[in-house]
Structure formats: structure tokens, C-alpha cells
Structure 1
């Protein structure tokens, strides 16, 4: 086109030629995905995400067929998720003799499986929009793909593109759109960067649009909500996963948690991480009384396993005092292949058991998200993996004053996994305008205010304790009221409009000079 610079035209022609060689375009697309993945924690290099998405979008737009666009989108997703999910090998190395052989397959199958959603989005965008308007189609299609990724087969909405904005003003847009909407917007902006590079005018428009979004995010950012007259003590005992249940170490970790709990001060509530009491509920009452006595007169909320017959549950218990249980919460959203195995009886025949399973049986799920009362307000308790699902917060009956996350991120290693999990918690705070108290076995334990800001924390990979005021909640957000329905309607509407426009143009094209 006349308004495209010669350099842009040469680059576009070169990229189009790469489609003549499948492995070249596959390698380029996967590399673009890896670049895009560097926007995730702990890297936070979101400019690389834009570069990766722009390159990936260009290759999808220039694909000669819908099938080639599908394969290009899959390669893009494979590179992106392989970097984002690199921590997934860590759980399989805890017991390397039993599970180590699964580690590379876990990374390949998880990344490749998640990339299928991106493959479908690429095919859909190519089908409805072709080259013109592709950035809109890609944003809408990838928004739908991210929603499906968070719902189908139990869902796994980890590592979405929208999460890269956590330490920028743009994160506050999740108050309106949620992370899925922010992911759609991120892909649209990244895809729009490619045609914007055609000339200076388009590039100026692109930067101007980005500046408008930042300004909007700044405008809707709420003021500091302040804190309640209540202090929560977060205990981080630091029990590495390969030693956590070792008979020679287990009591040492418990004693450390007790000692940290007895730190001076007068908290109103004490929180221990997931499965931090090393015996099932009621099986070692002396340990439970010791833990509760260490916190008294403050109540203690602690992670513990619970057994009913042959059924195991991953639970939280609030002890009002030694020997006194206030309430019990059973985790309901379990980790596939971690806490239970789909078609478990069949999988067990091939030696595949849940990583956290008891005798290979795994855990049973609880009834669902429920609210519980504490001395510092009504809480929605969540255990570990449940924090990545916004719907697990929306499905609760009523609105809590705050959210509790008790987690054992030792499973996720010491690199990207725990930090990405913390980012998820911070976005839940933004989406719902609720503070979150997070107690993590090996870190990062943190107090998060209703704007997603970390007000107090303990570092990753070390024992510690921190007393933090519990922040106040903010008014109900747009996203908390509307959920993902507006994004769903908008995405389908945009795709339908693009499809209709392109179909009309193909049937009755505008004559030259017309």
C-alpha cells in the first residue's frame, strides 16, 4: 500500500515468504511466544510481550490459509506457555524417583494443551477478518479463548496476557473488565502494533491510544482504602516440599511455626499456611492444642488434612482457643493430577497418582465457596489453587469483608511459580475490591489491599512472621457485578460484525476508484 514504508513492505514480504517453509514459521511463531512470555512474573518485561504479540499477529495475518493460521497460533501459544509454565516441572522433582520421568511430558502436554486455545483463536480471527481488522478480531478471539481456558475441563486460567500489567496503572482496568478482558485488550494492542509500524502516523495513533488507556486506568484507580482496627499475623514456617513430610523434619517445621506464632505483640488473628499442622484433624489433638495455645488469645486459622473413613480432604480450621474449633472449610476446587487424578482408577494402573494424593486416592472436594466469621470480619477462605479462579469468589453467597488464601507454594519451586501465584491474588483483590491475607508455606506471604497493592510481605524462601493491619474493602466493582458477560457479548459482537463486513466485501467488492 502507498502509505506503508518500504522497510515495512520488505519485512512483511519476508514474513509472508516464511509460510512457504512450515518449520521456519513454526520456529518464528514459537520464538514470538517466548518473547511474549517474558512479560510474566518474575521478569515483568511487558515491552517484550508487545513485540512477541506483534510478530505472532503478523504471522497469523499473513498465513495463506485458516489451517496455517491455526498451526501458527498453536506455535505462538506453545512458546508462550512453555516459558510461563516452566515451574510446572518442579512438583514432579519433589519425589524424583516416582514422578521425575513425568516432568518434561508435563511441561510439553500442559503448554501444548493450553496452546490449543490460542490455535483456535488464531483460526477464528483469520476466518472472520482475514488481514484487515485482524487486530480487533485477534483481541476478541483471544479474549474468548482465555475465558474457555479458565472454564473447560475445570479450567486453568494461569498466565493470561493481562497479568503482565500488575505493577502498572493498567492493572486497575481489571476493576472494569477482569483479567480476561485485560488479556483481550493486551492481545488487541499487541496485534495492532504490527500494522501501526507501517508508518509514523499509525505508530503515533497507537501510542496515543495506549496513553488514553493509561489515563483511564489512572482516573479509575481508587484512593487508599485505609485499614481496619485489626491486626493479622501471617506465619511462614518454610518447609521445603521434599522435606515437608519427612519424619525427621516434620516436627521441626511445626515447632518453627509455633515459635513464630509466639512472637511478641497482640494480633487479632493468626494465619498458618496450607497443611501446616502435620496430622489429620482429630488424630493428634495435642498438636492442635499446642498450635492454638501459641496463638491464644487470638484465634488461629491453620491448614490441616481431614479424614472421614477413606475420604481425605484438604481443609482449613479456625481454632477459637485450645481444644475449641470455630469452623472448618474444605477445599472444593482441586488440582487435577495434583490432588486428584481424572479417571483415577484407570490412571493408577499405569502408575499415575496425584502428587499430593494419600495412598494414591487423592482428595475429595468440599461443597463450594462459603463465607466464615472471624473476629476481624466475614472472610472467604480459599486454599492455594482456588485463588486463580475469579468465579470461585463470585460464586460465594454474599460479599465477604476480606479474602484469606492459605497456600503451600513449595510445590511451585523457588522461581516463577510462587511469584505468578501472588500476581493472581493481587488481581483478585483488584477485580473484587477486597483485601487479601495470604499465608504461604515458603512464601510469598503477603497482605494485599483492595487495589492489589502489597502492604506487607515476607520474602520467598525464608521463614518469618509479619503483623499487618487488615485493609478495608472498597465498593463493589463493575467486574464483581457484571462478571465476564460483557466481554462475552462484545467479543461475539465484534467477530460477527467483522465476518459480515468481510463477507459483504467478498460478494460485492468496491470497484477500483469507486
Structure 2
């Protein structure tokens, strides 16, 4: 058959032995797209990948997303000649990566728009910035990752390792640069399955990302492999990898429940207060009474409320007022707590400024007993840009334009001081590693390496996002932290998902999105020994990343030319 128009034969890659005609022809058509068609295809492929994330968890959707990405990168050599061959190829790869990431993030983060409608009169007009602007910016990380992968590209199976290296590196950067935002990192495709997620105890979320790309991009070689081993080998290796991860994970999880911490009975309160009412001071009395009533409610004929638990846990920002400066409200809470009972609650607090200094507000966790405040406090370290504060130099400019952060606190929240050990002492509990809201999505930051805590505590308010995938994605990421650290997770939310998990990520109790009520559970013990990830962090991820790079460069070293347009014919890759 005649060659598809556009490239001389000498630019052909060294692929031989055509793959099955239909699949090869499809790969060829994908690789030879250009312009807006190429970008639209990359966007659609990335959008499919969002179905692999919670709450859907359709792992084959990531195959549908990554296989076309490989074929599109194969065709990146047909980029702009005006930039020169190498620069044009990298520019084309970056454009493909940006469009892919834009689609992935748009489909995965559309629910952010719900937050702009809570106070629609003030924020609705800014919704495009959250729903489209943020995904467009995050797409730049994938642009860098795809360009990095293309630098190590080669025609055969080695390009799968190149893509795993490029995406793995860019996802790590996304989680760290500019305060970081590792939401829906590709490793979550594996990190929501109980057996597969156990690997995070060694390699963490970013290691799961590398393995997810290796496994889900491997079928691309079915259309472009040279010999049977090169064509079918990566897919068989991917199946073996997934089976091995699942088998090892199943063996790691004990058959029975994890023993409980003696003498601890938790009550998680999920009030399900409408988001537009939570921060209205006029609702202070009704909200406080709602919390107190739920906290002392009887859950069964033989349960009498607070008398049957040791610790009550309320979610993030429980009050539309400063509890530290409201002795009447504090008195009502302490009077409601029987002797020996403890309340752990989210609350805004203010410091006592020096003369001439402005008042600083903190998003905090406070501990209250019958006698008042006990045990200390934790101030949120990792604040949400534009949600809790306006970042850096943009602050003055944005305020001059009349903009403010979502949470109406004068001047925004101030970040707490970095901790060097478990930052929250709660009477009757093991040392607590606290986090507030989206702090729980950052791997390796919750638990101290110096002094191992006994549990992860996450207080959050996901009511901003309604009944959407957002709260479910948030819980799935917090749950993976329990596996990484080998610690139980206790999570209280204003509305879903409130839960207790054991250190293997098994859910032992849960209140779903939209539910109002309480969850009474014992506290599972932590693992006797720290996980490898808890001890060494991302060291093993770095080893995986380096291994992928060496495989990709080794494969490239054995190939004199990269895949180019002439490598494809209408029936698939051209023969020798």
C-alpha cells in the first residue's frame, strides 16, 4: 500500500513486522493527526482517564487515556519544522501533554465549580477560573512530563518506560511546586483498590503513579511492536505486575481485624450543616445546639450518648464564631461533657497580637474537656490558596480589585508553625498526627519521622462541593495516607465522608456524603513497626523513576532514529 503523505522514507523508525491491521491502522491514524485534531484527541484521551479516579475507579479507563497518549507522542516528530526537528518535536510533545492534562484535570475537577455557587452573588462569575483556569495551569505539568518523556523516546517498549518517567517526575513536581496540588495523581488509579494500594506502604503515591503508567500504557505496543516479544511482552508484563501487586497486597492484609486501642471509644459527629449557613453568625445558636444534640444522641436502646464514648470529634471550622473568645458558648460545651470525656473540634482561632500588629487568624484543631481547653492546639500548616488566603504578591493586587478568599476572614488565615513531632496531645489518645482539610492529600507530610504517632486525624469541611465526586476523592486520598504510614485514620467531615480506617486502609466505619448523624467506633492500633515509606519517604519512588529512565535511555541507545511519521502505514507500522 502507498505511504500516507507527508514524510520521506528515510525518517521511518526501525519498527518491523506489522501489527494486526486494524489496530495498527488506528495507531497510525492517531499518530498522524495534527493541529487542532491532535489536541482535541489528546484532550479527550485525558478526560477518559478521570474515570479511573474515585469514585468511579474504572482502571481500564486509564488504558484508554494512556495508549493514545503513546501513539500521539509517536507522531510528535511531525511537529513544526520551523523550530527545527528536535525543538519542533519537543514543542509538539509539550502541546500534546498540555491538552491531555487539561482534559484529565477538567474532567476530574469540574466539581470545584460548586464552591463558587455557595456565595453565588460574590463568586459565581469567577467559576471559569476554577473549572477551566486551574486545569489549564495544571496541564503545564503534563506538558513538561510529555516533553521529558519524548527526550528519552524510542520506537519499542522502551517508550513506555519513558512515559512513566516523564509523568512520574511531573506528578511529583505538581505535588511540590507552588505550594503543591497532588489531587488525582495518576497513582490513585491503583490507590483506591484495597489490595493494590498496599504497595504504597513501600513506594507511596508517586511510586504508584509510575506503576500505573507502566501498566496502563503498555497495551500501546500491541499496535506497534516489532516482534511478538516486543508487541505482546509489555502487556503480559503489565498483567503480571498488577497480579503481583494484588497478590502481595492480599498477603499483607491480616485475615482478622486489627486490635483496638484499649479504653478508647470514638464518636464522630457529621452535622451536615448547609454550607451557606455554616459561616453566618446569625446561625450560631442553632449550629451549636445541633452539634450538642447530635453528640449526646442515643444510637441504640442500649446506648445513652456521651456516657458511652470517650472522645467526641467535630469537623473543621465547626463554629461561625471564635470559641476561644465566647465564654458563654465554651461554657455550654464544657457543661455538656461528662467527667473524663474529651471533645476534639475544628475551629477558627485568633492570637493575641502585640500593640500595633494586626490580628492573625488560624484554622485550628482545639481540644476541650469539662474543665475547658486541654491538651494544646494545632494550626493548619498547608493553607488553600485563594480559598483561605490570597498568595504572595497577588494579595494586594487582588484585594485592590475587590477580590477575597472564599473563607471570609479578615486578611485571610495565617499558616501555623512547622511541627517536628506529633503536634496534638489529646488526653486518653495515642500521639495524634493532625491535618485539616486538604492537608491529607500530601504524601509524607502528616506523620513525624522523629516521633511516631498512633493515629492520623483529619478534620474537614467538604460541604463546599456538595454531592459530587470531590468529597469522595478527598476521602480516598486521605485513606491512602493510612496505608503509607501504617496508621489508623480518623476522619470527621461536615458532610461525608466521615470514617475510621485501620492501618491497612480497611474501612471499619463510614458516614457517606449527605448523611447526618454520628459514628461510634473503637480506635484500631497502629502497626507495630513503621512502614518502609514512613521511614524512607520517596526513596523507593526515586529508584523506580531512575529505573524507568535507564530503561528508556538503554532502549533509545539501541535505536538510531526515533519514531516518525514514516513509521506508520495505513495497515500499521511499515515493515523493514
**TM (normalized to structure 1)?**
0.93
The answer on 1:478 being equivalent to 2:532 is yes
The residue aligned with 1:400 is 453
The answer on 1:113 being equivalent to 2:137 is yes
Give the Å deviation of 1:412: 2.6
SS at match of 1:196: helix
Which structure has more RCO (C-alpha within 8 Å, separation ≥ 6)? 2
Aligned partners of 2:193, 2:246: CA distance in 1, in Å? 13
RMSD: 2.1
The residue aligned with 1:242 is 276
Q: In 1, are the aligned partners of 2:260 and 2:522 still within 8 Å (CA)?
A: yes
The residue aligned with 1:14 is 29
Query: Which of 414, 425, 430 in structure 2 is aligned with 1:373?
Result: 425
Q: In 2, are the aligned partners of 1:73 and 1:120 still within 8 Å (CA)?
A: yes
Query: Which of 354, 360, 363 in structure 1 is aligned with 2:413?
Result: 363
The answer on 1:218 being equivalent to 2:271 is no
Give the Å deviation of 1:141: 1.6
The answer on 1:270 being equivalent to 2:330 is no
Aligned partners of 1:159, 1:60: CA distance in 2, in Å? 23
SS at match of 1:131: coil
* Structure 1 segment 160-179 matched on structure 2, within 5 A: 160-165=185-190, 166-179=192-205
Give the Å deviation of 1:501: 5.1
Aligned partners of 1:3, 1:17: CA distance in 2, in Å? 17
The residue aligned with 1:196 is 222
Aligned partners of 2:92, 2:105: CA distance in 1, in Å? 20
Note the alpha carbon deviations across 1:280-329, whole angstroms, 9 max, x for none.
Answer: 14221121222233333311011111112411111111112243433111
With over 3 angstroms needed to count, the CA separation of the structure-2 counterparts of 1:270 and 1:469, relative to structure 1, is: same
With over 3 angstroms needed to count, the CA separation of the structure-2 counterparts of 1:66 and 1:221, relative to structure 1, is: farther
Q: In 1, are the aligned partners of 2:389 and 2:413 still within 8 Å (CA)?
A: yes
Q: In 1, are the aligned partners of 2:216 and 2:238 still within 8 Å (CA)?
A: no
With over 3 angstroms needed to count, the CA separation of the structure-2 counterparts of 1:295 and 1:467, relative to structure 1, is: farther
Q: In 2, are the aligned partners of 1:29 and 1:72 still within 8 Å (CA)?
A: yes
List runs of 5+ in structure 2 lacking aligned partners.
Answer: 1-15, 78-88, 298-303, 354-358, 562-575
The residue aligned with 1:313 is 362
Aligned partners of 1:155, 1:222: CA distance in 2, in Å? 34
Give the Å deviation of 1:456: 0.6
Give the Å deviation of 1:16: 2.1
With over 3 angstroms needed to count, the CA separation of the structure-2 counterparts of 1:448 and 1:355, relative to structure 1, is: same
Give the Å deviation of 1:145: 1.0
With over 3 angstroms needed to count, the CA separation of the structure-2 counterparts of 1:51 and 1:325, relative to structure 1, is: same
The residue aligned with 2:9 is none
Q: In 2, are the aligned partners of 1:139 and 1:188 still within 8 Å (CA)?
A: yes
Give the Å deviation of 1:443: 1.7
The answer on 1:351 being equivalent to 2:375 is no
Q: In 2, are the aligned partners of 1:320 and 1:326 still within 8 Å (CA)?
A: no
Q: In 2, are the aligned partners of 1:281 and 1:307 still within 8 Å (CA)?
A: no
The residue aligned with 1:511 is none
Q: Which moved more, 1:461-470 or 1:189-198?
A: 189-198
Query: Which of 253, 256, 262 in structure 1 is aligned with 2:287?
Result: 253
Aligned partners of 1:51, 1:243: CA distance in 2, in Å? 42
Give the Å deviation of 1:500: 5.7
Note the alpha carbon deviations across 1:384-439, whole angstroms, 9 max, x for none.
Answer: 12111123224564110011111111123221111111001110001001001111
Give the Å deviation of 1:453: 1.5
Q: In 2, are the aligned partners of 1:61 and 1:134 still within 8 Å (CA)?
A: no
Q: In 2, are the aligned partners of 1:74 and 1:116 still within 8 Å (CA)?
A: yes
Give the Å deviation of 1:486: 2.6
* Structure 1 segment 420-431 matched on structure 2, within 5 A: 420-431=473-484
The residue aligned with 1:54 is 67
The answer on 1:151 being equivalent to 2:176 is yes
Aligned partners of 2:164, 2:152: CA distance in 1, in Å? 13
The answer on 1:334 being equivalent to 2:383 is yes
With over 3 angstroms needed to count, the CA separation of the structure-2 counterparts of 1:175 and 1:396, relative to structure 1, is: closer
Aligned partners of 1:209, 1:250: CA distance in 2, in Å? 54
The answer on 1:290 being equivalent to 2:323 is no
Give the Å deviation of 1:503: 4.6
SS at match of 1:460: coil
Aligned partners of 2:254, 2:63: CA distance in 1, in Å? 27
**TM (normalized to structure 2)?**
0.83
With over 3 angstroms needed to count, the CA separation of the structure-2 counterparts of 1:438 and 1:206, relative to structure 1, is: closer
Give the Å deviation of 1:497: 5.3
With over 3 angstroms needed to count, the CA separation of the structure-2 counterparts of 1:109 and 1:227, relative to structure 1, is: same
Higher CA-based Rg: 2
Aligned partners of 2:345, 2:443: CA distance in 1, in Å? 23
Aligned partners of 2:29, 2:434: CA distance in 1, in Å? 54
Aligned partners of 2:416, 2:29: CA distance in 1, in Å? 55
List runs of 5+ in structure 1 lacking aligned partners.
Answer: 508-513
How many residues are matched? 505
Give the Å deviation of 1:80: 0.7
With over 3 angstroms needed to count, the CA separation of the structure-2 counterparts of 1:102 and 1:430, relative to structure 1, is: same
Aligned partners of 2:471, 2:555: CA distance in 1, in Å? 45
Give the Å deviation of 1:247: 4.0
Q: In 2, are the aligned partners of 1:378 and 1:402 still within 8 Å (CA)?
A: yes
The answer on 1:383 being equivalent to 2:419 is no
Could you list the structure 1 runs, at least 4 aligned residues long, displaced by more than 6 angstroms after superposition. Answer: none
The residue aligned with 1:510 is none
Query: Which of 227, 233, 252 in structure 1 is aligned with 2:267?
Result: 233
Aligned partners of 1:306, 1:404: CA distance in 2, in Å? 19
